[in-house]
Every structure is written in C-alpha cells, then in structure tokens.
Amino acid sequence: MTYRHIRVRPLSSALGAVIGGVDLARPLEDEIFAEVRRAFLEHLVVFFRDQSLKPEQLVTFARRFGPIGIYPFAAPLKDHPEVIAVIKEPGQKTNFGGFWHSDTAYLERPSLGSVLYAKQAPPLGGDTLFANMYLAYEYLSAGMRQMLDGLTAVNSAAKNKSAVRGDHLASGSMTGKRSGAQDLTAEHPVVRTHPDTGRKALYVNRAHTLRFAGMTEQESAPILEYLFAHAVREEFTCRFLWEPGSLAFWDNRCTQHYPLNDYPGQRRVMHRVTVEGERPY
C-alpha cells in the first residue's frame, strides 16, 4: 500500500512497522490519522521514534482509536487516571508482564490495544517481541483449524499472576491496585474474527488461558501447550528496540507480546494507555 502523508517501514515480514513523518505531540489531521490507522491494521503493531510526549498527549492519541480502558491491577499516575507508569527498578529481578501474552483476556471486553511510550530505556536490552496471531492460525493444519473454530477457552486473571505482575508490583516502585479483579475469568473463542479486517486470529495465550470450556485443565493442556509454542514461532514475530521517546501501539486482537527481562541493574520507565475493546467473536 502507498501512503501520501506518512512514511511506513516494515520491521519484519511477519508484522510491525516504523512510522515516520508524524509528530504525535500535535493533534493528527484526519488524513494523517487515517493513514496511521491503515498502517496499524496492516502491520498489527506500529512504532514511532523521537517523540516528546506528555501523558495527556498519549491519551489524546489513544482516544482516536476508541474509548480509554482502565487496567485493573496497576494504579495510574496521580494526575492522569488513564495512564499507568510501567517501571522496573535496577534492583528488581522480575519485569511487568514478563510472559508471552495478550492483554486482559480475562475481561469480557479485552483491550483493543495499548499505547506504550518509553520515558527511560536501558542502553542495552529491554526489547519487546511481538507475534502475529493471524499467521499463527493460518499456519495450523486444516484439521486443527476445523477443531479450534468451534472451541471456547476460559481465561483467568489469576493464572501466573505472580510471574506476570504480582512479584513485580510487590518489589518495586510501581503501585498496585486492589480492584477486586484478581479472580476475573472470561470465556472467549479460541479463534476470534477481527472486526475491522475480517481475518481469523488464534486467541489463546500462556499467561491467561486456563483450559477449553467444557474440559478440564488436564485434558486441555496437551493442545494448549502446542498452541502456546506454535503461536510464537520465530517466523511469526518481530523485535523492537526501545529508545527514549519511542512509542509502540499494538493491536491486542491479533497479536501477543513479550517484554524481555535482560537488563539487570538498569532502570526502565514506560507510560501506558489502554484502548477499550469489544467482546471477541
């Protein structure tokens, strides 16, 4: 596809693109926003470099894609209730969300996506991996696709909570939030249809998916373990190097992501805004 108002450089053949020629500190004109949204739908996750953004400007950008959602487990910035600070201090051993995962699959309406902005990044390490769930579905055998198309999965906020967020929130400067959501569960199709593109995407993830509906965890485990590993095959992924002023916006409906924890002794500070999504179908 051609773009008239922005520059789009694919990051890998699977997904991801770096967008240039856009200053997100300014309100986007409709023509520019339309191209950014088109690149977002085409590449599943888009990245911007060299941005200088205040929290309210992050919110303004995110709101162009839909209502702002509230993440249930981390407290927001004091003066900006729609923004959370994702922080790893030099002495911490864990990182926030340190699994391959799709955000908030345990909600009835999981997020559409998240805007993540780097305030402070380590000089080496701290990259984020992203995986394309369209490809994960399309590269399954015809027999496996046929079986999965009729299944529903149970997703839980309690699965792996210590590894994904609990230990990290308890040991650093991020502030947790007692939201009563610790035991949230939701059932969603194992294969969801993207509301904008119409494409099918695999929708199970290691961090939150417990079992198939109507089956036990033990019965579900062999197929889920296969799907968890298959979904993040190298050829389905891209890798993004963070720098201060970098911003990522990923489509949570058709991607998974994994923040690497390979920067011991370094501080990392990110601001995140979540866009509310729809119930998967």
* Residues with catalytic function: 101, 103, 257, 272
> Containing H/E element for 258?
strand 255-259
CA proximity to 65, closest of 278, 227, 275? 275
CA dihedral 246, 172, 89, 264 (to 10 degrees): -110
Structure tokens given for 172: 């650093």
Number of residues in the chain: 281
User: How is 170-216 classified by DSSP, letter by letter?
Assistant: HHSS--B---S-TT-EEEEESEEE-TTT--EEE---TTTEEEETTS-
% helix, strand, coil for the chain, step of 5: 25, 30, 50
